[in-house]
């Protein structure tokens, strides 16, 4: 029997030991880091289905800190542990030649440990403590790449501090009102609170979680941070770290406030619920189109993350059992496929030292595994059947249509359309087309990079063909929130309004594939051309950017670009720069002239006496 | 409670003042026999003080120890009041003073001579070799006097005595700010002196008026009779005293001396000025307002003043490029937060304020100590000169980072529980006024986070020339720094270590009637 505090001790202690071992030998450190993270996966897997609650620390300012495991936190914990482990394995060769590798592994392990702490926290104070540890260690990792990463890190941490302040205020207000911070106790007494107060609490926490989860208008840190962080950490950031916001939303909306109260706030389109859905929908649309404009592969993926997080929020905010299942499943799927895509792009960057979509191309033959992994990843991202992304998106669309929300459904579908465009751009500009001269002798990725990608690709396909495995857990989460149970089978969901059966789809695709293959086999007459053979009618071929991956979707850019200025980001920059210039003028109070300084003292005294004589306030 | 009674309990609080004062003046004597004695005497004196304070602490938590000097009972004699607040402060003063004096063992010789003889600090190699040992007994003597003054301020129960100890503190700090004898140091010391003198005069006038009104200088006695006089005639001495003490306590707009003085003093002195001196000033303000005047009507104004101080401090710190000035302005910001928390004036607020004070003392002292050697190595106080310091001085930078994280209020460091308490106290009042002010205070935290994280990035993640060569601060500096780090982490994880003391200190501050009863019997 494994208790939760031992789990956290292993996680945090493992992080520290990893650092110390690095001082002795790098090999030892690497294997230790991997072993520790595999141990965590194993322990969490063993805890499946258990429900534990344990006070692990008395007396932090008179508050008991509680760890708690239920099906919701188990599901998040296992996702964190798996994605974390795979990124650490990927890092082994990715980070090898860099400096401060001990620090890097320490921080990776620390972020993962803190995230485990977040999902296992049974009271808001320990939740907050782990949340902050996660925030600052993520800041250190985002800044790791130096150069432009510094600005990205600053942007991240400032927004993050704003979020945690909002959370602190919300949390302490709950504490002052109910004299407890235990999640289960608050949940049982909050029903007595007025709806205005609940709205205040929800807004405070929504700011915190919205910033982490990158909902519009709090998304601006994400594109910078995700694209500048080291690739394995981008995978963690995008796959699981921002999902702590999702977890937070589930916690505050469904566990603490509860479904009934949450849906009952406000009415019509001005209810909290529908405004939230609307925010989710906007978060799908705008970032998706911005993603199409990107020429930096990781930036493209980062914007895509914002968009996909919009689906999750939309589904969670919608508040029916089918939507919630879709939302949580999409969280899980997104963790897998976005981690996969970031790792794949990281593998490309590792060899080519660039992420510029205009100068890459044709790498499919040089890096077949990476290519296939990316293909699987974007299929899941788009939601192609037989990948897990299909099932979760199917659930979301189905809910939106069934429940009569055509606008939201339209947003979601347009989002998918945009997703197809940028996904295709990504896979095409990196792997298809001509191979630039300079990459002629590119080597394959190291095995420690390929392995995580293979595992993730297989998982995506497995859960696409047999979605019942995770859906069973997700259904249990829904039931714990007080929803009706769904009819989950191993290959989908049966319900009276239309069933999902992935086995049928699988057979259909298999048959169609065989037919196509036979047709091609009969009629095949292909000509093989060297991959770097750019045909220019005998004229001189410029070496750089002269192949057709450059300026992809150019007409579309020109059409949508004027509408897609990131006004919000500009607004934040405006705030930052006005604070800066205001601070500069405040500084002039301290002019350096001691005469003024003495005058301040005398004036202060005179003012106090004057005020008292005149109005007698004191 | 008689003199005999307190003595029979073992330790006498008078020792906390008498021993360091005596030793301070004995430094020149010892110096005749053994040159290095000067730098070890503060160590001995402060270690003694720390032990005595810690021995006293459990006792005063039950009952304050009142010591009368001269055989008469209060109010007819000079007396010391060693309550939870006084002993808490004297313990902190002794602890921080001790650690900083360990730091100064290796620091103060080279820093003085290298700066005087050769302004190009970058040429400075080796911390103790190649530098002529010089007479530093003045430094150590003044240092010990400063801390004696501070201890006296927090322990005395007599308002004129408070003024005297305050002057000891101030005058030694004027001299220490100018200790390097460079232009910046002397200029800022003179500015500090002028403003300090204005403040002291106001304070003295205020005390004189009080004496005229009540015919006594005993704080408890004045407090007891304060309601017997017309409000306006009490008000004038009160604002005079608050303004006078406010100069040292760095309350906006009386704090203009601070950024200059704190940034041009030697770093060990900056640590003491930021970590001890202004806190002691704030203590005096609080003691006067809460205990003597019981002026609950000005709490709202004080809270506002605190927030104003905080915002001005944080904004000025934000626009600094000089690391020591940045830290100095950040101290102003922190003082503002402490003042705000104290002005909430319920038990949460005062506890939170005192906790914030402890956490600021530890963190800021650590930051100044770490910065002391960093600017040495860099040869400049510009933040941009610290690029890549994380590889040159990894341990020092680690200490700096932990101090910075703690000040911003991140767990698991000490700044987190203190900030937690302050925010909680403000929300617990359920008054819109305090809720708005705490919102502004938290805004200040965002700014604070911005400039501290920027420095952390500069230390670790800025481009640097390859192979810088690693050379950390000497061991005599690393030991105190890492004791601070340990305290910051341990109290941050286990705040109960201090909360009991802070709670009873808070109740001493809030219950003036108990204070009066304890002193006057």
B261 vs A386: CA distance, rounded Å: 70
CA distance to partner chain A, nearest, from residue B495 (Å)? 6
CA pseudo-torsion sign B506, B509, B510, B512: positive
Token pair recorded at residue B228: 């017997």
Q: What is the pLDDT of residue A529?
A: 64
Q: What is the pLDDT of residues A187-207, one digit of tens each?
A: 888 888 888 888 889 899 999
What pLDDT does B110 receive? 53
Q: What is the pLDDT of residue A414?
A: 87
Residue B36 in this model has a pLDDT that exceeds 80 = no
- Calculate what percentage of chain B has a pLDDT beyond 90: 43
Check residue B116 and give its pLDDT.
45
Residue among A60, A172, A579 whose CB faces B423 most closely: A172
SS3 of A40-71: the string is HHHHHHHCCCCCEEEEEEEEECCEEEEEEECH
Predicted confidence at residue B128, as pLDDT, reads 36
Q: How far apart are CA B204 and CA B291, in angstroms?
A: 18
Quick: pLDDT tens for A223-251.
Answer: 889 888 899 999 999 989 999 999 999 99
Cβ atoms within 10 Å, residue A109 = 27
Is the peptide bond preceding residue B75 cis, with omega within 30 degrees of 0? yes
pLDDT band at residue B5 under the 50/70/90 scheme: very low
pLDDT class for A547, splitting at 50, 70, 90? low
pLDDT tens-digit map of B379-435: 888 888 888 888 888 899 999 999 999 999 988 899 999 999 999 999 988 888 888
Residues from chain A that touch B442, judged by Cβ atoms under 8 A, are 165, 168-169
> pTM, whole model, 2 decimals?
0.90
pLDDT of residue A530: 67
Q: Which of A390-394, A484-488, B293-297, B452-456 comes out lowest in average pLDDT?
A: A484-488
Q: How confident is the model over A528-545, as a mean pLDDT?
A: 59
Closest chain B C-alpha to A608 CA, distance in angstroms: 7
Instruction: Using alpha carbons, select from A489, A216, A204 the residue that is nearest to residue B427.
Output: A204
B436-440 contact pairs (CB < 8 A, 24+)? B437/B303, B437/B304, B437/B307, B437/B340, B438/A169, B438/B340, B439/A169, B440/B307, B440/B310, B440/B311
Q: What is the pLDDT of residues B422-474, one digit of tens each?
A: 999 999 888 888 889 999 999 999 999 999 999 999 888 887 666 667 788 88
From A124's Cα to the closest Cα of chain B, the distance in A is 13
Helix (H, G, I), strand (E, B) or coil at B463: coil
- Rounded to 5°, the CA angle A159-A66-A43 comes to 90
pLDDT per residue as tens digits for the range A551-575:
667 777 777 777 777 788 888 888 8
Residue B449: its chain A contacts at CB < 8 A? 157-158, 161
Q: Which pLDDT score, from 0 to 100, does residue B466 have?
A: 65
- Measured CA to CA, the distance from residue A151 to residue B270 in angstroms comes to 31
pLDDT at A82 over 60: yes
Mean pLDDT, chain B, rounded, equals 86
pLDDT tens-digit readout, B255-266:
889 998 988 888
CA distance B150 to A544: 71
CA distance B310 to B302: 12
ipTM of the complex: 0.88
pLDDT of residue A376: 92
Give the DSSP letter of residue B228.
G
- Describe chain A by its helix, strand, coil percentages, rounded to 5: 75, 5, 20
CB A115 within 8 A of CB A39: no
| Banded pLDDT at B106 (limits 50, 70, 90) | confident
Distance of CA B244 to the CA centre of its chain: 17
Task: Measure CA of the first residue to CA of the last residue in chain B; give whole Å.
Answer: 7
Do the Cβ atoms of A601 and B195 come within 8 Å? Answer: yes
Residues B243, A139: C-beta atoms closer than 8 Å: no
Q: What are the pLDDT digits (tens) for A6-65? A: 888 899 999 999 999 888 888 898 899 999 999 999 999 988 888 888 887 767 887 888
Q: Give tens-digit pLDDT for A152-181.
A: 999 999 999 999 999 999 999 999 888 888
pLDDT at B4 over 50: no
Q: Which pair of structure tokens corresponds to residue A50?
A: 């258990």
**Residues in chain A closer than 8 A to B417 (CB atoms):** 60-61
Average pLDDT over residues A349-366: 83
pLDDT score of B519: 85
In whole angstroms, give the CA distance from residue A255 to residue A119. 13
Residue A436 burial (CB < 10 Å; 0-12/13-18/19+)?
Answer: buried
**Residue from A126, A138, A587 whose CB has the most chain B CBs within 10 Å, to mutate:** A587
Task: Give contacts of B 255-314 with A, CB under 8 A.
Answer: 256-257, 259-260, 295, 297-298, 301, 312
Mean pLDDT of all residues in B26-36: 82
A190 with A257: CB under 8 angstroms? Answer: yes
Instruction: Measure in Å the smallest separation between the Cα of A509 and chain B Cα atoms.
Output: 50
B417 part of contact set with chain A, CB < 8 Å:
yes
**A–B interface: beta-carbon pairs under 8 A:** 162
Nearest-CA distance from A615 to chain B in Å?
A: 12
Could you tell me the pLDDT band of residue A385, with boundaries at 50, 70 and 90? confident
Q: For the residues B485-500, what does the mean pLDDT come to?
A: 91
Task: Please report residues of B whose CB lies closer than 8 A to that of A594.
Answer: 190-191, 194-195, 256
Q: Is A411 helix (H, G, I), strand (E, B) or coil?
A: helix
Residue scoring higher pLDDT (A617 or A576)? A576
Rounded average pLDDT over B62-86: 81
Rg (CA), chain A: 26
Task: Report how far residue A130's alpha carbon sits from residue A115's, in angstroms, rounded to the nearest whole number.
Answer: 7
């Amino acid at each position: 029997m494994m208790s939760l505090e031992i789990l956290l001790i292993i996680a945090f202690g493992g992080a520290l030991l990893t650092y110390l071992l690095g001082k002795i030998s790098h090999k030892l450190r690497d294997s230790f880091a991997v072993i520790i993270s595999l141990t965590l996966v194993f322990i969490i897997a063993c805890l499946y289905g258990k429900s534990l609650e344990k006070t692990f620390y008395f007396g932090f300012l008179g508050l008991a800190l509680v760890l708690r495991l239920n099906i919701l936190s188990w599901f998040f914990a296992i996702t964190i542990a798996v994605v974390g482990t795979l990124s650490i394995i990927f890092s082994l060769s990715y980070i090898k030649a860099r400096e401060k590798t001990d620090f890097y592994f320490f921080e990776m392990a620390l972020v993962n440990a803190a995230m485990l702490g977040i999902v296992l926290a049974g009271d808001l104070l320990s939740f907050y403590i782990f949340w902050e540890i996660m925030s600052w260690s993520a800041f250190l990792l985002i800044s790791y790449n130096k150069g432009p990463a510094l600005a990205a890190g600053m942007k991240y941490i400032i927004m993050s501090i704003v979020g945690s302040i909002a959370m602190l205020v919300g949390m302490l207000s709950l504490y002052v009102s109910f004299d407890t911070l235990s999640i289960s106790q608050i949940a049982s007494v909050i029903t007595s609170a007025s709806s205005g107060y609940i709205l205040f609490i929800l807004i405070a926490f929504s700011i915190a979680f919205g910033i982490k989860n990158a909902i519009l208008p709090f998304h601006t840190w994400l594109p910078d941070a995700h694209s500048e962080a080291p690739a394995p950490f981008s995978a963690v950031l995008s796959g699981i770290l921002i999902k702590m916001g999702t977890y937070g939303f589930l916690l505050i909306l469904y566990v603490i406030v509860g479904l009934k109260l949450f849906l009952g706030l406000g009415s019509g389109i001005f209810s909290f619920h529908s405004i939230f859905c609307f925010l989710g929908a906007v978060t799908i649309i705008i970032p998706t189109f911005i993603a199409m404009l990107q020429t930096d592969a990781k930036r493209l993926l980062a914007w895509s993350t914002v968009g996909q997080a919009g689906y999750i929020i939309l589904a969670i905010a919608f508040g029916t059992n089918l939507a919630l299942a879709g939302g949580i499943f999409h969280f899980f799927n997104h963790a897998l496929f976005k981690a996969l895509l970031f790792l794949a792009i990281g593998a490309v960057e590792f060899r080519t030292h660039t992420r510029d979509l205009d100068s890459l191309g044709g790498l499919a033959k040089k890096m077949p595994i990476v290519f296939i992994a990316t293909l699987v990843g974007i299929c899941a991202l788009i939601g192609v059947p037989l990948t897990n992304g299909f099932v979760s998106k199917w659930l979301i669309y189905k809910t939106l249509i069934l429940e009569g929300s055509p606008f939201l459904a339209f947003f979601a579908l347009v989002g998918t359309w945009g997703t197809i465009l940028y996904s295709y751009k990504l896979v095409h500009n990196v792997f298809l087309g001509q191979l630039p001269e300079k990459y002629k002798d590119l080597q394959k990725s190291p095995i420690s990079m390929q392995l995580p990608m293979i595992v993730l690709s297989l998982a995506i396909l497995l859960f696409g063909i047999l979605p019942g495995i995770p859906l069973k857990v997700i259904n249990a989460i829904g039931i714990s929130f007080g929803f009706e149970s769904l009819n989950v089978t191993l290959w989908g969901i049966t319900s009276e309004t239309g069933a999902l059966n992935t086995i049928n789809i699988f057979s259909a695709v298999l048959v169609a594939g065989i037919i196509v293959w036979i047709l091609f086999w009969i009629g095949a007459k292909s000509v093989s051309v060297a991959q770097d053979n750019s045909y220019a009618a005998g004229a001189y071929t410029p070496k750089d950017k002269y192949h057709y991956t450059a300026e992809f979707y150019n007409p579309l850019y020109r059409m949508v670009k004027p509408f897609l200025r990131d006004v919000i980001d500009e607004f934040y920059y405006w705030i930052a720069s006005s604070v800066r210039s205001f601070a500069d003028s405040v500084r002039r109070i301290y002019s350096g002239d001691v005469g003024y300084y003495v005058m301040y003292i005398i004036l202060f005294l005179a003012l106090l006496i004057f005020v008292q004589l005149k109005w007698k306030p004191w | 409670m008689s003199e005999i009674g307190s003595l029979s309990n073992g330790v006498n609080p008078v020792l906390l003042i008498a021993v360091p004062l005596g030793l301070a003046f004995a430094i020149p004597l010892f110096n005749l026999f053994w040159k290095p004695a000067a730098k070890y005497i503060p160590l001995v004196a402060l270690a003694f003080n720390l032990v005595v304070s810690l021995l006293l602490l459990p006792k005063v938590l039950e009952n304050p120890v009142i010591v009368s000097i001269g055989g008469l009972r209060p109010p007819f004699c000079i007396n010391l009041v060693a309550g939870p607040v006084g002993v808490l402060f004297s313990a902190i003063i002794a602890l921080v003073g001790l650690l900083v004096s360990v730091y100064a063992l290796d620091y103060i010789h080279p820093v003085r001579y290298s700066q005087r003889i050769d302004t190009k600090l970058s040429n400075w190699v080796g911390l103790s070799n190649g530098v002529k040992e010089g007479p530093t007994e003045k430094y150590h003597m003044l240092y010990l006097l400063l801390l004696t003054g501070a201890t006296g301020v927090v322990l005395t129960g007599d308002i004129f005595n408070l003024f005297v100890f305050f002057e000891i503190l101030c005058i030694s700090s004027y001299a220490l700010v100018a200790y390097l004898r460079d232009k910046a140091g002397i200029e800022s010391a003179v500015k500090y002196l002028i403003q300090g003198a204005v403040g002291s005069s106001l304070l003295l006038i205020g005390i004189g008026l009080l004496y005229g009104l009540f015919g006594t200088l005993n704080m408890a006695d004045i407090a007891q009779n304060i309601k017997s006089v017309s409000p306006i005639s009490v008000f004038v001495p009160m604002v005079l005293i608050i303004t006078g003490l406010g100069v040292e306590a760095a309350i906006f707009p009386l704090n203009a001396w601070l950024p200059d003085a704190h940034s041009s003093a030697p770093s060990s002195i900056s640590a003491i000025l930021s970590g001890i001196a202004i806190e002691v000033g704030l203590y005096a303000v609080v003691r006067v307002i809460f205990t003597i005047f019981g002026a609950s009507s000005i709490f709202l104004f004080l809270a506002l003043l605190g927030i104003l101080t905080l915002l001005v401090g944080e904004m000025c710190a934000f626009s600094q490029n000089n690391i020591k000035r940045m830290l100095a302005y950040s101290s102003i910001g922190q003082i503002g937060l402490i003042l705000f928390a104290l002005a909430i004036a319920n038990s949460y607020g005062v506890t939170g304020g005192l906790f914030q004070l402890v956490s600021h003392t530890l963190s800021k002292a650590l930051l100044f100590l770490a910065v002391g050697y960093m600017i040495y190595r860099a040869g400049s106080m510009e933040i941009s000169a610290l690029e890549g310091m994380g590889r040159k001085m990894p341990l020092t930078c680690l200490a700096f980072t932990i101090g910075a994280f703690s000040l911003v209020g991140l767990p698991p460091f000490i700044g987190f529980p203190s900030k937690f308490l302050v925010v909680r106290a403000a929300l617990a009042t359920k008054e819109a006024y305090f809720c708005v002010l705490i919102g502004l205070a938290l805004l200040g935290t965002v700014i604070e986070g911005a400039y501290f994280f920027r420095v952390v990035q500069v230390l670790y993640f800025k481009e640097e020339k390859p192979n810088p060569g690693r050379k950390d601060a000497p061991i005599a500096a690393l030991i105190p720094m890492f004791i601070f780090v340990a305290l910051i982490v341990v109290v941050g994880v286990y705040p109960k270590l201090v909360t009991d003391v802070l709670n009873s200190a808070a109740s001493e501050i809030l219950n003036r009637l108990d204070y009066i009863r304890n002193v006057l019997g």
